[in-house]
Amino acid sequence: MFKREKSIEIQQNQDVQCAQGKVAVQGIGMSVYSFFVDGLLIDAGSYSLSQEFQSFFSEIPIEQLALTHSHEDHAGNAAWIQQYKKAPIFVHRDSVQICAEDGEYPLYRHALWGERPAFVAQPLGDSLQSRSAIWDVIETPGHTTDHVSFYNRETGAMFTGDLFIQTKTKVVLDEENIVHTLASLKKLLNYDFEAIYCCHAGYIADGRSKILNKIAYLEDMEGRVKQLFNQGYTVEEITKSIFPREYPITKVSGEQWSSKHIITAFIQQFKQESFT
């Protein structure tokens, strides 16, 4: 049994209620957010914080739940919402079947985020209607293939799920493709927004400039990787050159989270480009 330290804090930013759940296991701590606005809940937090999130959900009039993707820290309480709030749940079309079964993932993730019980979801379309606003559903693959972002046409608020997280990405999950992440970040710039709501960093007032900074960071890294790759360096050598430090999550996760995945994705793109 894992001993978890847990808490939740509710903040109001403009018309959005931001529920920040915090969980720590053996000194490793993370935050995950759920956002409520205009009858719409965006992401449902982790089951490891079920009591904390469910106390918040019990007091708000949830009319529908939209998920940025199906990972357990975003969909952990979706089954509870379905059972007790009777609200329809929407997710990317490719994840409807995944959500219909209990989540399966490694022990370290289970320790931090808990279970992801099965629930019935409906596929998202190109847009979503809440009480008083129309939302664009923007396909933003990268972190996962099923990742979407939500843009409120009325207020200009952008909800980015796990697309942003931080400016200087050092490690990614093995299923993430950093090339696709970069393309998705650029795609968001087609929309008129300043603030973003990130599911791990929370409300970021200057979100657009932060995204521009992340794009610049990744493009600079891409250039460095390409230069080293063209000089004949291996994936391991390039990783060591650009990321000399090994991050604790890499060892804890058995390299499911690693800097090497960033380098590998860029190199795969260079190889594809050389054949076109």
- pTM of the full structure: 0.96
Q: Return the structure tokens found at 37.
A: 């606005």
How far is Cα 159 from Cα 197, in angstroms, rounded to an integer?
5
Query: Quick check: 137 and 128 in contact, CB under 8 A?
Result: yes
Segment 170-183 mean pLDDT: 96
pLDDT score for 153: 96
Q: Which of 21, 42, 14 is nearest to 149 (CA)?
A: 42
Model confidence pLDDT, tens digit, residues 73-90:
999 999 999 999 999 999
| pLDDT value, residue 220 | 98
DSSP class of residue 247 equals P
Distance from C-alpha of 38 to C-alpha of 131, rounded to nearest angstrom? 6
Q: pLDDT at position 274, please?
A: 74
Using alpha carbons, select from 105, 110, 104 the residue that is nearest to residue 25. 110
The pLDDT value recorded for residue 273 is 84
Question: Measuring CA to CA, which residue among 62, 50, 57 is closest to residue 88?
Answer: 62
pLDDT at 31 over 90: yes
For 185-216, how does the pLDDT look when each residue is reduced to its tens digit (9 = 90+)?
999 999 999 999 999 999 999 999 999 999 99
Q: What is the mean pLDDT of residues 102-109?
A: 92
